[in-house]
Amino acid sequence: MSDPHGPDRVETMVEKAEFVEECLEILAARQSITRDAYRSDTVTRDVVERRFEKASQACVDIGRMLLRDIDGRAPDSNAAVMERLATVDVLSAETASKMGQAAMFRNVLAHEYGDVLDQDIVYEALQDLGRYRAFLHELRDYLDDVDAI
C-alpha cells in the first residue's frame, strides 16, 4: 500500500497518539480507586474527566486527519468519524464502534458538569481503557501498512 499521508501529517498524528498514551497512563494510575472514593474525590474526578475528554478529542482529530488524507472528506459528527475509519480499513468494525461511543462520551464530558454528569459511567469507563489502546494499536498497524512509519 502507498502512503497517502505526508511526513508532517504523520508526525502530527504520532504526536497526538503519544498524547493519548500519556492520558492513558494518567488514567490507568487512577484505576485502583474505589467507586465510592471516586465519587467523593472531586480532584480525581476532574483529572479523569478532563483526560478522557482530551484523549477522545485527540483520537477524533487523528481520525479526521486520516480521512481527509485518504479521500478528502471527514464527517461532521465525531462518532461518524470513528465509524467511517472502519470503512476505509483503518480500524476494525469493533474498535470503530467502541471509539464512536468514546467520541459521544467526549461530548458528554465537554458539556455536562457537576451533578448532571453520571459519575458511575465515568468510573466504568475508567475501568476499561481497552478501546483507546485498540485504537492506538490499529492506528500504528495502519500507518505501518501504508509505509508511513
Position 115 pLDDT exceeds 90: no
The answer to whether residues 100 and 82 touch, using CB atoms and an 8 Å cutoff, is yes
> What's the grid cell of residue 137?
494499536
Taking the complete model, does pTM exceed 0.85, yes or no? yes
Report pLDDT digits (tens) over 5-63.
999 999 999 999 999 999 999 999 999 999 999 999 999 999 999 999 999 999 999 99
pLDDT of residue 1: 66
Q: What is the spatial distance between Cα 113 and Cα 7, in angstroms, rounded to a whole number?
A: 39
User: Domains of the chain by range and CATH?
Assistant: 7-145 (1.20.120.580)
* Helical segments of 1-149, H only: 7-28, 35-40, 42-71, 78-87, 93-111, 119-126, 130-145
Report pLDDT digits (tens) over 116-127.
578 889 999 999
Mean pLDDT across the chain = 93
> What's the grid cell of residue 23?
492520558
pLDDT over 70, % of the chain: 96
